[in-house]
Amino acid sequence: MDRSPYVVGPAGDFQHTHTIIFLHGRGSDCDEFASELFESEASDLLVPEGPRTLPALFRSVRWVFPSAPQTLSERFGAVESQWFDMWAVESPDERFESQVKGLRQSVTLLEAVIANEEALVPRNRIFLAGISQGFAAAITAALLARDSFAGLIGLCTWMPKRAYEAIRAVEGLDREERIVKSTSVFLAHSRDDGVVPVENGRGLRDYLSQHFPAIEWHEYESAEHWIVEPEGVDDIVTFLRSHIGQ
């Protein structure tokens, strides 16, 4: 059975103005990911006083963390938390046919989460975000959507190009009719990421640059498969402030 999303915020008496739907990576879950994300802090240069965590800085935001289904990994022969099965993160299009079913199912799951949030705020106040395989699922949902979002945030991630294009072909969708080009995209990657090679992130950047006008790309001198602190958090905060208006 799919878990309900883990939800945080808005804080106290703050009016709900925006939603950020944030997808965890393979092997994680919504609670674990949210806890670790909210421990990450901006620098004292960007935030001289007060708390520097994301929920403290964006108190009118509702943070929604879906959890990936538990499905069988063909390569490892075990059930794990994953948005879709895949053979090798280093070569994301390898055996792409095995990705299609799970990716389509995760897009359907995410569409339901988006619809629930649209009952609370307009879609142009909803961000889609994710780390690693989480953003691979999120960007697929965004590309299949007919309406724009407030923004897209992808960390240490890649484009599941061949699986996405297989879904698009089956559904008979015209890419140019679907993509709404007003959505801004934030992408960040460590140059020495030991899980997802930075070349895969650059490939995602180049692919999305064909369709979205505003791609903000950040590379960090780090080996982390995570948000680089504090500069990576600073960059996310700056991006969100520019679109939320805080």
Number of domains in the chain: 1
| Structural domain contains residue 233 | yes
Mean pLDDT within 58-85: 93
Element (H, E) at 170: helix 161-171
Contact call for residues 43 and 51 (beta carbons, < 8 A): no
- Among residues of the chain, what percentage have pLDDT more than 90? 78
Q: What is the DSSP string of 65-106?
A: E----EEEETTTTEEEE-SS--S-TTSTTTTTHHHHHHHHHH
Asked if the model's pLDDT at residue 179 lies above 80, the reply is no
Within 8 A by CB and 6+ apart from 123, the residues are: 114, 147, 148, 149, 150
How do residues 17-57 score in pLDDT, each as one tens digit?
999 999 999 989 999 999 999 999 999 999 999 899 999 99
pLDDT interval class at 177 (50, 70, 90): very low
Q: What pTM value is reported for the model?
A: 0.94
User: How far is residue 183's CA from residue 104's CA, in Å, rounded to a whole number?
Assistant: 22
Q: Which domain holds residue 11?
A: 6-244
pLDDT score for 211 = 83
The 10s digit of each residue's pLDDT in 195-245 is: 999 999 999 999 999 888 889 999 999 999 999 999 999 999 999 999 997
Could you give the 3-state DSSP secondary structure of residue 152?
strand
| Residue 1 within a domain | no
What's the pLDDT score for residue 9?
Answer: 86
CATH code, 135: 3.40.50.1820
Contact between residue 105 and residue 94 where contact means Cβ atoms under 8 Å apart: no
Q: What's the mean pLDDT in 163-179?
A: 72
Using the predicted structure, report yes or no on whether residue 143 has a pLDDT greater than 60: yes
